[in-house]
Copies of this chain bind each other. A is one copy, B any other.
Amino acid sequence: MQKAAIIGGGVIGAGWAARFLLHGWQVHFYDPSPAALEVVNRVVKTAARWVPEIYDHLPPRGELIIAPTLAEAVAEAEWIQESVPERLPIKHATLAEIQAACSVGAVIGSSTSGFMPSELQQDALRPEQILVAHPYNPVYLLPIVECVPSSVNTAAVTDRAMSLLTKIGMKPVLLKAEVPAHVGDRLLEALWREALWLIKDGVATTEQIDDIMTHGFGLRWAQKGLFETYRVAGGTAGMRHFLEQFGPCLQWPWTKLMDVPDLDDQLISRIVEQSDAQAAGRSVSELEAERDANLVALLKALRTENAAAGAFLNQLAITGD
């Protein structure tokens, strides 16, 4: 049985623990706070209710071991996931303690959303062993994990990380450069700022903004991202035509956020090339049919959601916070 060490509880650490356990790994959990134990037990219980519904087959559940010390947790672990609070001195101290006790061959992933791998690696014993593996909540269900190496990480380490994360049902994306907040949180932050303006200016309420998302582009983005959606929107005229039309709009006063990128020919070409590669030969009609099939499946699925949630709540006898 493969062994993972989860260092730092909270919702993110507990979510990692649940994901590894349900994919058959032995999980050694360490957090000095007694409250962390309660969180991990609750999250594992919740994950065990939902995760098996996604898979036709899962291996027998692994064993959760509450480690008395960090050193005992990380000894012999293949994967060590650090999810301690987002303060750099705490990260550095924890990573030093991990490296003093763990195997040289282990991969150390950090759940950090705010720090770049090169910052985490400062003064580390073996900086090449540490990279960012940034998941999204709930970790046991959402497949995405952003893998961010710095220039000191070798391909052997990133390959190992990508392969291992795939085996626990994740969709790891290996970023090409380190930037503050990686990719997903930068996108979220931009949208969040605009949403705050809309609230502040009284254009819409939180509920209206949420409704516009869940009944609109949320359904889009659960199955086609921004670029593939625009690719479909461009139709047979193509991505380049679509982008060229879009250029002037970027200068319009739609958002309160300024300093827009220059959508010049070089950038257009790069996006066209990458979008072509991404389509991998599929026609717009094919992409459109995929999109429609997805949307139908999602809309049908959402109709049964409340009954399932209600049944689960009754089963756990949860009536409030």
A interface residues (Cβ-Cβ under 8 A, vs B):
11, 46, 49-50, 53-54, 114, 136-138, 141-144, 146, 171, 173-177, 179-181, 183-228, 233, 235-236, 249-250, 252-261, 263, 267, 270-271, 274-275, 277-278, 283-286, 288-306, 308-310, 312-313, 318-321
- CA–CA, A12 to B288, complex, Å? 15
- CA–CA, A226 to B318, complex, Å? 24
Closest beta carbon of chain B to A31's beta carbon, Å: 17
- CA–CA, A225 to B310, complex, Å? 20
Interface contact A173-B305, CB-CB below 8 Å: no
| Chain B residues, CB < 8 A from A260 | 193
| Chain B residues, CB < 8 A from A50 | 292-293, 295-296
Instruction: Given A190-B193, A221-B222, A321-B283, answer yes or no on A296-B257 (Cβ-Cβ < 8 Å).
Output: no
Closest beta carbon of chain B to A51's beta carbon, Å: 8
Interface contact A222-B309, CB-CB below 8 Å: no
Interface contact B226-A144, CB-CB below 8 Å: no
Interface contact B186-A142, CB-CB below 8 Å: no
Interface contact A11-B235, CB-CB below 8 Å: yes
Interface contact B313-A200, CB-CB below 8 Å: no
